[in-house]
Structure 1
Amino acid sequence: MHALAPDLGALHRRVLDWYAGASRPLPWREPGTTPYGVLLSEVMSQQTPVARVAPIWREWLERWPTPAALAAASPGDVVRAWGRLGYPRRALRLHEAAIAMVQRHGGEVPSTPEELRALPGVGDYTASAVACFAYDAPVPVVDTNVRRVLVRLLDGEAQAAPALTRHERDLALAALPVADADAVTWGVAAMELGALVCTARTPRCEECPVEDLCAWRAAGSPPYAGPVKRTQRWEGTDRQARGALMAVLREAPGPVPAERLALAWPQEAQRDRCLHSLVVDGLVEPLDGDRYRLPA
């Protein structure tokens, strides 16, 4: 491992200046976005391109502008409104989190990482992101993009580890600017640098505002030599089957007979297995007469 860059101050200034001029105009970054809007954006953006998130995010805020409004909705309506964002259990966890906010926090999004982590479906990253972006808490926000940026800049490694490590947590804390205002912006600025310039496969180093401070570039941009994260195929998987079944149920105005679901996914054994898993996850309710619906 390489030591931290000798001039973190210069690194911070350049990245923050770059972000001020190059950041994407995402709707949840607009002034006046509520902590609830920030929470929605963070949960919806997990493993989902922001271009797909933006219209659904707007629709949710128009329909359910507060945690109390979301808590009063039915789980089925919430899952249906989730659309094709993927991983629909996130919709149920958001609904459960809204109920918890009404019960424990007077209908408000809590402000500390500890309180946020206690909400259903909220992990370390989301808790830190909401505390930082919604409440200006000077805490490290470490997603995949930030991890890659930091290990390249400060460790000279091509990629981060397959899963978040203690070293990477320590690195993010050590790289945090001292001034609170800079620390708050640093998380989203480093994230944006990783999303737009310091990308995983084809980094645009010639466009990077801190290329000359990058330990990885100084080392000659060596290839990644660590453990490889397994990539998941899609075609024919249970994930694809579950998505096909959920699409039918979302689009139907009422209960769906089993025969209709059979048309959506003909492989009987896999279909039955996936349908059972959707019921166990609380995403689907079985009814009499071999019919199914989204949760009431």
Structure 2
Amino acid sequence: MSDLATPLIAWYRETARDLPWRDPDFGAWGILVSEFMLQQTPVARVIPRLEAWLERWPTPAALAKASPGAAVEQWANLGYPRRALWLHRAAVQIAEQHGGVVPRDVDSLLALTGVGDYTARAVAVFAYGDRHPVVDTNTRRVLARSLDGQSQPGPPSPNDLAAMAEVLPRDEEPAAVFNAAAMELGAVVCTARAAKCESCPIAHICAWRNAGYPDTGDRRRRQAAYAGSDRQARGAVLQHLRAASSHESAIETVAAMWPDALQRDRAIDSLIADGLAEASDGMLRLPR
């Protein structure tokens, strides 16, 4: 195995957080749902929503039978609600094209709505035990620091998968553990703001640490502030529809709930364009 793999796997086996999707019996559907929810969302917010989602829709077929609006309503405050629509569409595809079983091969997973390089490989590895490099933001940071001596990773690139593949153990089981371990290290030890090198199992071979922690710049894309943004206006409109009877409300009622009329109208128009809301006969509603 690579120099990184042996100590990192040993550390992970001893210290890994007890998260529901790490249960060996969690299943491919649960892992797919968790990966959708975990995109740009903290673990603590995901866990209760994930449990509620899987209790309501324990299989892709169960979700496929529900309306898109039900998925948006159940998504609640997880943010980026288009993910709920994408997950619903993916469930329909799984039910119609794969006999209700989440596919195993990466190409079939990539063909599902809302599934990209990371999610497809995460499902193939963590649900089915196949050998693929799995690269998220945390993994990219670990590789950038330990291998390249960079304080922060550059923008996402196809080269990220190749870099992870070079250090991935050859056998499937340790490869899966190493994928999870690299993400875990970036999430709890090798964090973006404050690396806890005293707790790091690979500190002794980390190129960034051995170079004296140079500041090599940060080219990560910055997200605009949420407060006062169009995203907040969209969220307020969706929250109103989720809470409304039958998940619909008169447009004039919606119009009165946000102080900036232009921003409110942009929010409503963008929700309709994204398929997150429907308008007819003076009413705004979640999609049916």
Match of 1:193 in 2: 185
Match of 2:206 in 1: 214
Q: Does 1:265 align with 2:253?
A: no
Change (3 A) 1:95 1:213: same
What does residue range 238-257 of structure 1 map to in structure 2 within 5 Å? 238-254=230-246, 255-257=248-250
Structure 2: gaps of 5 or more residues: none
Amino acid paired to 1:234: Y
**How far apart are residue 226 of structure 1 and its match?**
5.0
Provide TM-score, normalisation by structure 2. Answer: 0.97
Question: Could you tell which deviates more after superposition, 219-228 or 31-40?
Answer: 219-228
Q: Secondary structure at the match of 2:284?
A: strand
Q: Does 1:153 align with 2:154?
A: no
Q: Summarize deviations over 1:123-166 as a string: whole Å, max 9, x none.
A: 111001000100111100000000000111111111101x2123
**How far apart are residue 253 of structure 1 and its match?**
1.7
What does residue range 164-175 of structure 1 map to in structure 2 within 5 Å? 164-175=156-167
Q: Does 1:136 align with 2:129?
A: yes
Change (3 A) 1:88 1:226: closer
**How far apart are residue 291 of structure 1 and its match?**
1.4
Q: Does 1:294 align with 2:283?
A: no
Does the aligned pair in 1 maintain the 2:4–2:167 contact within 8 Å?
no
**d(CA) in 1 for partners of 2:272 and 2:219?**
35
Match of 1:72 in 2: 65
Match of 1:3 in 2: none
Does the aligned pair in 1 maintain the 2:2–2:168 contact within 8 Å?
no
Q: Summarize deviations over 1:261-284 as a string: whole Å, max 9, x none.
A: 123312111111110110111110
**How far apart are residue 259 of structure 1 and its match?**
3.0
**d(CA) in 2 for partners of 1:166 and 1:283?**
31
Q: Percent identity?
A: 51
Amino acid paired to 2:201: P
CA root-mean-square deviation = 1.2
Q: Secondary structure at the match of 1:16?
A: helix
Amino acid paired to 1:167: N
Question: Could you tell which deviates more after superposition, 223-232 or 180-189?
Answer: 223-232
The partner residue of 1:180 within 172, 176, 198 is: 172
**d(CA) in 1 for partners of 2:213 and 2:145?**
9
Q: Does 1:14 align with 2:7?
A: yes
The partner residue of 1:37 within 6, 30, 55 is: 30
Q: Does 1:126 align with 2:119?
A: yes
Q: Does 1:81 align with 2:48?
A: no
Q: Secondary structure at the match of 1:227?
A: coil
Amino acid paired to 1:19: Y
Does the aligned pair in 1 maintain the 2:110–2:120 contact within 8 Å?
yes
Question: Could you tell which deviates more after superposition, 257-266 or 120-129?
Answer: 257-266
Match of 1:4 in 2: none
Provide TM-score, normalisation by structure 1. Answer: 0.94
Structure 1: gaps of 5 or more residues: 1-7
Amino acid paired to 1:44: M
Q: Does 1:92 align with 2:85?
A: yes
Q: Does 1:229 align with 2:221?
A: yes
The aligned length equals 287
**How far apart are residue 235 of structure 1 and its match?**
1.6
